[in-house]
Structure formats: C-alpha cells, structure tokens
Structure 1
Amino acid sequence: MTELVATTTGLFPLPDRAKTTLSDRKGHQKDDLISGDEGDDIVAAYDRVRTDLLDRQREAGLDRLVEGQARWDDMLAHPLCVHDSVETRGIVRYYDNNNFYREPVVRGDLTFDGDLAADLERAAEHVGSDALQAVVPGPYSLSDLATDEHYGDEGDFLDAVADFLAEEVDAFPDLETVLLLEPSLVEHAPGDGRDAHASEAIDRVAGATDADVVVHTFYGSLEEKVHAHLLDADVEAIGYDLVTDHDQNLYNVNEYGTKGDVALGLVDGQNTLVESPDLIRERAEWFAENTPGGSFDRTYVLPNTETFYLPVNRFEEKLDALGAAVAEEEVTA
C-alpha cells in the first residue's frame, strides 16, 4: 500500500498576530527586502512567524513541514525580487487572479544569493531536518514571471535561472524534500523545443540536491507533450492539480505514465470551503483506483495551489484536515 505523506505547497497567509508588525512591509512597498537589508526588528518578527507556522503544521500532524515563506511578498518571483542584479518595477498580475507582484527585471548576472538557504537554516534549527521540505519556484515558472534585460535570449535566460536556482538549492541544509512549484508549465505552456528545454532546466535544479524532488504543477493540467517531456526530468514525483482538472490529469498519467511517487493536489488552496479528511482520502483513493496498477511508492497529499489566498482560520482548518486524512488512513490501514 502506498505511503501517504501530508504536506503543503507553502506560501502561507500571514498570521493575524504578525500583521501589525509587518503590514507596512507587505507587497510592493517592501523595497528593502534585499537579503541582509532588513532591520533587526523585522528579522526577529519573521523568525517568530516562521516558528509559529512550523509549530502549527506540526500541531496539524503534517509529515513534511515548510518554513511558510512569510517573506515572499512577491510569491514565486521572490528569489529574483530580492537579488542584487534585479530591478523591481511596477506591479503585475500574478497569473489569472487578483494577486499582484512586483515585476523582477534581470539586469545583471544571476549570481549566488543564499536568501532561500538562510530561511531554511533557521527552520532546520527549530524542527530539525528529518521533516523539513523546501519550497522553490521551478526554473520555467521563475523565468516566465520575470523580464530579461541582460541575457538577451529566451533559452539562455532559462538556463541562467536554472543555474541560479541550482546554486541556491545546493546551499540548502539537509532536508527531506524539495518541492518545485511550476504553475507556468500549465498557465503559459512552453511550445515545441521549449518543452524539452524546460524539463532539462528542472533536471538541472533537481540534480543539485540529494533530497527527494517533487515538481508540482497546478492551475489546471499539463499539455500532453509538456507532460511527456517533464517525465524525462530526474525527479521523484510529479504533482497533479486534481481540484482544477482531475480528468485530464488522470488521462496524462494513464496515457504517458508518471514517476514511482506522485503528488496530488486534493485540497483547494483558493477556496474557503474546508474539505473533510474523508473527502481528501476519497479523492486520493479515486486517483489510485483509476490508475493502472493503482499503487505508488509514496503519495504526497497537499493543496492544489499555494495557500496565501486563504483567510488564516480557513488555512489552518485545511492543515488540520490534511493531517487528519493521513493519520486516519494509517489507523485504518
């Protein structure tokens, strides 16, 4: 029987108790969030938020804990928005919703930064490495969210972003899982040639760590060729958004196969309706029952999207439901 692992996609909503301290630093106003430029009071505030978020996930019974990404005001664009070689300009729409981020314009070499590793080091000090999961934008999505005014070629820019992320991942502390979030593979699908290149870029980032790497796609389903090429990347699992498009995602798996592990977006990260543990398990069982062989070595159970869209109370209830779904499955197995 498959091992169920309860986890999340990260990018949590900011806890209510932290908003007073950090509200004036949110969104495009936070122009001093270059790594190391935050004042001691802000660093301490984010440390408290990180600790609270880690403790709340542990309380919910999640198997993999993320540091919460409370500093990521620009969502998946964050690693570029805080880089010295990047200029942030006006706000632009974040995919097809009512959230916005500062446009990161790359104007110099994307050298090693260490911003992501620093947050993970702090998280590891609190919870150890055994349950820690990193959340990282995939190279295709990060390049898609950015504007290049330095490398001059679309392919070269994707390679530069992949190399940058690989260096960042290589600096991570020991941890269990690296979750690469790749919504742009669905929202702005790469065409012929670029689909294989995107897979190669993901493979390059995955090769920088000994941790298990999960590539999670969402906001719909992958085009068939994009899915087929993604399977060439040397990763442990591909993630599928079953909330938005369960039929096409199931078709892709049945038609082209998938990895030995799988990640399933079973909880709606953008809707306040809280799924019951029973419903979460039923959705996981439906996928297994309709997949040839019906068994994966490991199934990651998580929200379909990032969760910063949610009110804090609903977000926490969804954490509890995820933890309970896996805990009850283990009891009845």
Structure 2
Amino acid sequence: MTDVVATTPGLFPLPDWAKEDLSDLKGHQKGDLVSGGEGGEIARAYDRVRNEVVDDQTDAGLDRFVEGQARWDDMLAHPLTVHENVETGGIVRYYDNNNFYRDPRVTGELTFSGDVAAELEAASGLLGSDADDRLQAVLPGPYTLADLASDEYYGDEAEFLAAVSEFLAGEVEAFPAHATLFLLEPSFVTNAPDDDLDERASEAIDAVAGATDADVVVHTYWEAFAEKPYAHLMDADVDALGFDFVAADREANLECINEYGTKGDVALGLVDGQNTLVEEPGTIAERVNWVREQVPGQEFDTTYVSYNTEPFYLPTSKHVEKLSAIAEAARLAATEGVEA
C-alpha cells in the first residue's frame, strides 16, 4: 500500500501578533537577522514565530515539518531579494492574488547566500533527534524564481535560468539533513516555458534536485500543466510532481498523467490554500482516492497530501484547522477504512 504523507508547501501566514510587532519595529528591513538593537528584536520575533509554526505542525500531526518561511515577505522571490547582488525594484502583483512583492533585479553574480540554510538549521534544532526524517525544505523552483526576477547582469534568458539554478543548488548543498525538498514551481504552469526554454527548465530543476539526497517534489499550482513542458519535466530526476486539484483543470492534469505517466511518487494539492472553508478530513481522503481511481495504470509509492497553494493568505486560526484536517485525511487515506 502506498505511503500517504501529510505535508504542506510552506509559506505559512504570520500570526496577528507578529504582523503587529514586526510593523512596529523601527528600521525593519526584510531579512534583517543581525544581533543586537532592533535587528535583535526582529530576530527574536521570527524565532517565536518559528517555534509556533513547529508547535502547530506537531499538534496537527503532520508527517513533514516546514520552517514556515515567516521572513519571506516577498514570497517566492525571497531568496533573491535578500541577496547582496540583487536590488529590489518596484512593487509587483504576485500572480493573480491581491498580494505584492518587490521585483528582484539581479545586478551581479548570484553567489552563495546561506540565508535559507540558516532558517532550516534553526527549524531542525526544534525538531530534535528525528529532524532528518521530518524536516521538509522549501524553495522556489529555478524556473519560477527566474520568472519572478529581472535580469540586469547575465543578459541572456537561458544563461540567467542556468545561473539561478546553480545558485539554488549551492543553497541546497548547505541545508541541514532533510527528508523532503519541495520546489515550488507555479510559473511552470501559469507561464509555461516555451519551445526555447522547456528543455532547459527541466534541466535547471534537475540540477537543483541533484544537490540533495532527500526526496524532491516539484509542486505546481493555480493551473494545469501544458503537455510539452510536462513531457520535458518528466526527464528531470525528481521523485514526485505536484498537481493542483483545487484551482487547476483537473481533467488536463489527469490527461498529462495518463498520457505521459508521472513519477513514482505524487503530490496532490487537495486543500484550498486560499479559502477559509475548512475541509472535512473524510472529504480530503475521498479526493485522494478519487485521483487514484482516475489513473488506474499508475501506482504511487508515496502520495503527499497537501494544500494546493501556499496558505499565506489564510487567517492563522483557519490555517491551523486545515493542518489538522490534512493530517487526519492522510491517516484515513492510508487505511482500509477509505477504499482506494
């Protein structure tokens, strides 16, 4: 029987107290984690959020724990907006959501940063001795990160994508031991790579995945895969592809799986990351089994049950309820009580 793993794509909502406290700290700069002064206060606030995030996931009973990405004010653009060779430009709408991020303008070489690794080290310390089996790292995929950025240094689209991929691979190499890496690639479906980039995008993802021994999931959301980029993505050496079964065209996703196959594992975005309605665990489990029934020729070794999108936009209370629903649904789907 397939393993059913309860997890999330990270990017959790900030608790109300954190929004208020962080906005009140004078001189707050995104990514400011220096010790002493206001930087120290900011660091302590983020540490407190990280502790709450881990506690929430523990109470819910999730199988994989994320750091929460509380510092990622620029959402998936974060790894670039905190880089020393990146200037933050004007405010840009984040996909089709009523949220915004600062345009990262790459003005120099994308050298090693270590920013995300430091966050994961802190989260790993909170998880204790079995952190290696529970910690899930989260990063934007290279195609999405390049899509969200402006290149003012490399001068060539393919070269820029390769540079972003090399940068992310270097960051991953510095991560503490982790069980899973989720590469979030919404741009791969909302602005799919064209004929000049589809193979290169797959190669870029493959390069990042090759930097870790953990299981790698390429999670997409908001729209379904286009067939040609999907076919190229199947060449990437990753463990699972993620499908949005809430907002995207379900039939288009199923067509890709049934026509081209998919990886041995799969990630299913079955819980709405942007709607406050809390799904019943039994309903989520039924959705897991519905997908299984639609792809009769495909047996999955591991099925990741997750939000379809990041839950950043949810009220914290609803988010916490949904975490518990995801965990309980995974348990139900893994038992004979819910027939596959």
Cα distance in 2 for residues equivalent to 1:327 and 1:34: 39
Counterpart of 2:40 in structure 1 is: 40
2:288 alignment partner, one of 284, 291, 302: 284
Counterpart of 1:233 in structure 2 is: 236
SS at match of 1:39: helix
Shift of 1:285: 0.2
Q: Does 1:16 align with 2:16?
A: yes
TM value normalised by structure 2: 0.94
Shift of 1:197: 0.5
Shift of 1:9: 0.7
Counterpart of 1:142 in structure 2 is: 145
How many equivalent residue pairs?
A: 331
Cα distance in 1 for residues equivalent to 2:29 and 2:149: 17
Confirm or deny: 8 A CA contact 1:243 1:267 kept in the other structure: yes
Shift of 1:23: 2.6
Q: Taking structure 1 as reference, are residues 30 and 203 closer, same or farther at Cα in structure 2, changes over 3 Å only?
A: farther
Amino acid of the structure 2 residue aligned with 1:183: P
Q: RMSD in angstroms over aligned alpha carbons?
A: 1.6
Amino acid of the structure 1 residue aligned with 2:175: F
Cα distance in 2 for residues equivalent to 1:51 and 1:315: 16
Confirm or deny: 8 A CA contact 1:138 1:182 kept in the other structure: yes
Cα distance in 2 for residues equivalent to 1:290 and 1:168: 38
Amino acid of the structure 1 residue aligned with 2:46: Y
Bigger shift: residues 16-25 or 234-243? 16-25
Q: Does 1:270 align with 2:274?
A: yes
Q: Does 1:5 align with 2:17?
A: no
Cα distance in 2 for residues equivalent to 1:32 and 1:276: 37
Shift of 1:25: 6.7
SS at match of 2:268: strand
Q: Taking structure 1 as reference, are residues 35 and 189 closer, same or farther at Cα in structure 2, changes over 3 Å only?
A: farther
Q: Does 1:197 align with 2:200?
A: yes
Q: Does 1:131 align with 2:134?
A: yes
**Fraction of identical pairs, as percent:** 62
SS at match of 1:136: strand
Counterpart of 1:170 in structure 2 is: 173
Counterpart of 1:113 in structure 2 is: 113
Cα distance in 2 for residues equivalent to 1:30 and 1:260: 44
Q: Taking structure 1 as reference, are residues 101 and 32 closer, same or farther at Cα in structure 2, changes over 3 Å only?
A: closer
Confirm or deny: 8 A CA contact 1:35 1:83 kept in the other structure: no
Amino acid of the structure 1 residue aligned with 2:271: V
Q: Taking structure 1 as reference, are residues 25 and 81 closer, same or farther at Cα in structure 2, changes over 3 Å only?
A: farther
Amino acid of the structure 2 residue aligned with 1:138: G
Counterpart of 1:313 in structure 2 is: 317
SS at match of 1:78: helix
Shift of 1:40: 1.1
Q: Taking structure 1 as reference, are residues 142 and 34 closer, same or farther at Cα in structure 2, changes over 3 Å only?
A: farther
Cα distance in 2 for residues equivalent to 1:146 and 1:34: 21
Matches within 5 A, 1:56-71: 56-71=56-71
Shift of 1:254: 0.4
Counterpart of 2:330 in structure 1 is: 326
Confirm or deny: 8 A CA contact 1:141 1:184 kept in the other structure: yes
Cα distance in 1 for residues equivalent to 2:193 and 2:285: 33
Q: Taking structure 1 as reference, are residues 168 and 25 closer, same or farther at Cα in structure 2, changes over 3 Å only?
A: farther
TM value normalised by structure 1: 0.96
Task: Describe the superposition over 1:75-106 as per-residue Cα deviations: whole angstroms up to 9, x where unpaired.
Answer: 00000000000000111000111110001000
Counterpart of 2:103 in structure 1 is: 103
Shift of 1:130: 1.7
Amino acid of the structure 2 residue aligned with 1:141: T
Amino acid of the structure 2 residue aligned with 1:153: D
Counterpart of 1:300 in structure 2 is: 304
Cα distance in 1 for residues equivalent to 2:166 and 2:306: 28
Cα distance in 1 for residues equivalent to 2:310 and 2:91: 19
Q: Does 1:206 align with 2:209?
A: yes
- Stretches of structure 1 that go unaligned for 5 or more consecutive residues are none
Counterpart of 1:217 in structure 2 is: 220
Cα distance in 2 for residues equivalent to 1:110 and 1:118: 18
- Stretches of structure 2 that go unaligned for 5 or more consecutive residues are none
Shift of 1:332: 4.1
Shift of 1:152: 0.4
Cα distance in 1 for residues equivalent to 2:23 and 2:325: 29
Cα distance in 1 for residues equivalent to 2:262 and 2:23: 42
